[in-house]
Structure 1
């Protein structure tokens, strides 16, 4: 069995926070709820994980955004400046869902009234059958050093258009390499770097496709196909 056996439902928490009768903070949080006739114990733990993650987002938005938003509101009113509403937005996307493997990433966007907001990405790939997160090295099957292979793939892609990266990208791709910053797709593994890690804000979160092939095996092949 290598087809989809896990269903995903999107749940949403959203709210507005006001001061002096006017909205100063808005936030919206998406989080997944998994279900299946299989792996129910594992999926229950995953659902708890993502519910708690959503609660952490909400706590952060309410605690860390509201006070500076009120201060900015008072300053803007006093000086006849436009009111800028602070925003928190947590969205996810399931990028791989096959057999016992589910992979997804979260983008946490925060806007604090400036020229633009900022986004931090996190991701998880789950081997639901084994009830744990899957590490990227588990899909690697070549003799060449794991990190060396990945960085060679990244550098090869950068060389196609180095102008959108910082000049010292050679050092930065090593310095900011994080093997946790990956997710799976139908074509291969996506390795990513955060905003400003290796390129200016205008270049966004940089993603690099590492295709399935000789060195990277497709994750569903790590499943035992008899479901529990």
Structure 2
């Protein structure tokens, strides 16, 4: 008996271009369920516009360059980031990265808090892992690290949960965006079964 075959989701590149913005973004294509495809593309486009708005400053001409990266595209999981750099003409540029993490069968995108069991105490446990990594890597902080939020930015890559913070969120601007890689297998006891993170545990 042949097992189920999981194919990568079809992605094509489109561009949002104005006098001051050039942003390449992913478009999901060729899904059997067109409503799911439309739902995913709507979320991607809306996130791109949100990233652009985060970089806009009233009364200041902002030049924005943006692109996307596919972090995971397998097992009916699509994890992508939208990366943008805002240039304010002389001032220090600002980098923003946001992500979406989809179940490609349903078109649902998951917030971090939706991946873990309600009684798992995942916020404290993940925060402790990150706190130890901050210390090990001697990452400079703006103030005391207070832990992650239920909607903390993340993506999935190489069977790792990557939790990250925006520029200036917990570290000085010159540090950029700090990323923390956590092997999914190490936190498997906290994960809700059959969600996008759980799917990465198979065939480890």
TM-score scaled by length of structure 2: 0.77
In the other structure, the counterpart of 1:172 is 145
Structure of greater Rg: 1
Matched, 1:114 2:90: yes
Whole-angstrom distance in 2 between the partners of 1:153 and 1:195: 20
Looking at secondary structure, tell me which structure has more helix per residue.
Answer: 1
> How far off its partner does 1:182 sit?
0.6
Whole-angstrom distance in 2 between the partners of 1:196 and 1:180: 14
- Which segments of 5 or more consecutive residues in structure 1 lack a partner in the other structure? 17-25, 70-85, 224-228
Compared CA separation, residues 203 and 56, structure 1 to 2 (3 A): closer
Whole-angstrom distance in 2 between the partners of 1:124 and 1:212: 18
Matched, 1:145 2:121: yes
In the other structure, the counterpart of 1:78 is none
In the other structure, the counterpart of 2:39 is 45
Matched, 1:201 2:173: yes
In the other structure, the counterpart of 2:16 is 13
Q: Is the 8 A contact 1:29 1:57 kept in 2?
A: no
In the other structure, the counterpart of 2:161 is 189
TM-score scaled by length of structure 1: 0.70
- Which segments of 5 or more consecutive residues in structure 2 lack a partner in the other structure? none
User: What is the RMSD computed on CA atoms of the aligned residues?
Assistant: 3.0
Query: How many residues align structurally?
Result: 191
Whole-angstrom distance in 1 between the partners of 2:35 and 2:130: 37
Q: Is the 8 A contact 1:29 1:91 kept in 2?
A: yes
